[in-house]
Amino acid sequence: MKTLIVVAGPTAVGKTAAAIELAKHFNTVVVSADSRQFFREMAIGTAKPNAAELAAVKHYFIDSHSIAEPFSVGDFEKQGLALLDELFKTHHHVVLAGGSGLYIKAICEGFDELPTTDPAIREKLNRELEETGIASLQQKLKLADPDYYNEVDLGNPQRIIRALEVFESSGKPISSYRQATVNKRPFRIIKLALNLPREVLYNRINERVDVMIQQGLLAEVKALLPHRHLNALNTVGYTELFDYFDGKTSLEKAIEMIKQNTRRFAKRQLTWFRKDSSFHWFQASDADVISQMMNMIENQENID
């Protein structure tokens, strides 16, 4: 049986490096499950693998789409499964690496079909967003679906509106559609997750943001100003700098908000992955963490 090795965890924990080492060991490739690294126009702010890392092993779903193309988690499931079908013809193992829990779940389990919704509800919610801001929608979501509230990117208004739209149309929280029948996949799945002590992780996040600024994040975001209405750009690292370019905040404050919002995002990622008991957890700071992960994979394959 073929094996999909999932490498997950919060942002800045070291998933890319671990995924590359595992891919080298198994003479295979890495499929990205990061919902923003798909987009060619977003390079610095999404912390994509660098040129040396991309050269070390073949990566898929990095720079694969444009921000102008609608690309949903459902699209990723279809395209990702088709890709895995091809990759498993020539590889015994494939590594799926990223921090987007929803996208990992799409590949590993799939989703129930979401109900049809009334377009008038979306229009009403979009008006509310314009008139009262995102905070009131966040509060509505917290009351309607606390599980999803704790997992979703709260800075992404489209995700929040979609969840409220489903709830108001069906009377059921969107999270309930993501807990039903698990679709059996034709490959073995071994889920590995990395973590670090909170202080260490938060320091790494702060340092990474500083490096992004040095690498030219401001110029990248400025070039994307004409496209800011696109859903792909409703993300940490971009929305804060849009506020800076609008004159709503200072550069210093915008950078601090990127750090704070990224730390909050990492906390939500951990909440998501910890709810899945099939993950095996590892300390990214352990000197022999790759050996530990390889041993776990070997043991799991022997059990099966």
> Could you read off the pLDDT of 8-36 as tens digits, one per residue?
999 999 999 999 999 999 999 999 999 99
Residues 163 and 225 in one domain: no
Q: Tell whether 132 is in a known binding site.
A: no
On whether residue 205 sits in a domain, the answer given is yes
Residues 153 and 210 both lie in one domain: no
Q: In the prediction, which pLDDT does 178 show?
A: 65
- Asked if residue 90 and residue 154 are part of one domain, the reply reads no
Q: Determine if residue 135 is labeled as part of a ligand binding site.
A: no
| 275 appears as a binding residue in the annotation | no
State whether 47 and 65 are in the same domain: yes
Check whether residue 210 and residue 137 sit in a common domain: no
Q: Does 148 lie in the same domain as 238?
A: no
Question: Is 10 within any annotated ligand binding site?
Answer: yes
Residue 21: give its domain's CATH number: 3.40.50.300
Residues 134 and 165 in one domain: yes
What predicted TM-score, i.e. pTM, was given to this entire model? 0.84
Q: Tell me whether residue 13 is annotated as binding.
A: yes
Domain of residue 136 covers 128-178
pLDDT of res. 179: 58
> Is residue 28 a part of any domain in this protein?
yes
What residues contact residue 119 under an 8 Å CB cut-off, 6+ apart?
Answer: none
Reading the chain (304 residues) residue by residue, the pLDDT tens digits are 999 999 999 999 999 999 999 999 999 999 999 999 999 999 999 999 999 999 999 999 999 999 998 888 889 999 999 999 999 999 999 999 999 998 999 999 987 677 778 888 988 998 998 898 899 999 999 999 998 898 787 877 888 998 999 999 889 898 887 655 677 899 999 999 999 999 999 999 999 999 999 999 999 999 999 999 888 898 999 999 999 999 999 999 999 999 999 999 999 999 999 999 999 999 999 999 999 999 999 999 998 7
Residue 292: its pLDDT value, please?
A: 98
**Quick check: is 116 in a domain?**
no
263 occurs within a structural domain: yes
Token readout for 226 is: 């004409």
Tokens of 12: 């800045």
Number of domain units in the chain: 2
Q: Kindly report the CATH number assigned to the domain that includes residue 145.
A: 1.10.20.140
Residue 49 marked as a ligand binder: no
Does residue 120 fall inside a structural domain?
Answer: no
- Residue 115 inside a domain? The answer is no
Question: Is residue 48 domain-shared with residue 142, that is, in the same domain?
Answer: no
Domain boundary among 178, 199, 215: 178
Do 166 and 91 reside in the same domain of the chain?
no
Contact criterion met (CB below 8 Å) for 161 and 126: yes
**The tokens of 287 are what?**
């000197």
Which stretches of the chain are assigned E, i.e. beta strand? 3-8, 30-32, 59-60, 93-97, 188-195, 279-283
* Same domain as 187, residue 171: no
* 172 annotated binding-site participant: no
Longest dimension (CA), the chain: 59
Taking the alpha carbons at both ends of the chain, their separation in whole angstroms is 9
Domain boundary among 178, 195, 220: 178
Whether 293 is covered by a domain: the verdict is yes
187 lies in the same domain as 174: no
In the sheet that holds 188-195, the strands lie side by side as 59-60, 30-32, 93-97, 3-8, 188-195, 279-283
In a domain, 105, yes or no: yes
Residues 214 and 263 in one domain: yes
Q: Is 12 annotated as a binding residue?
A: yes
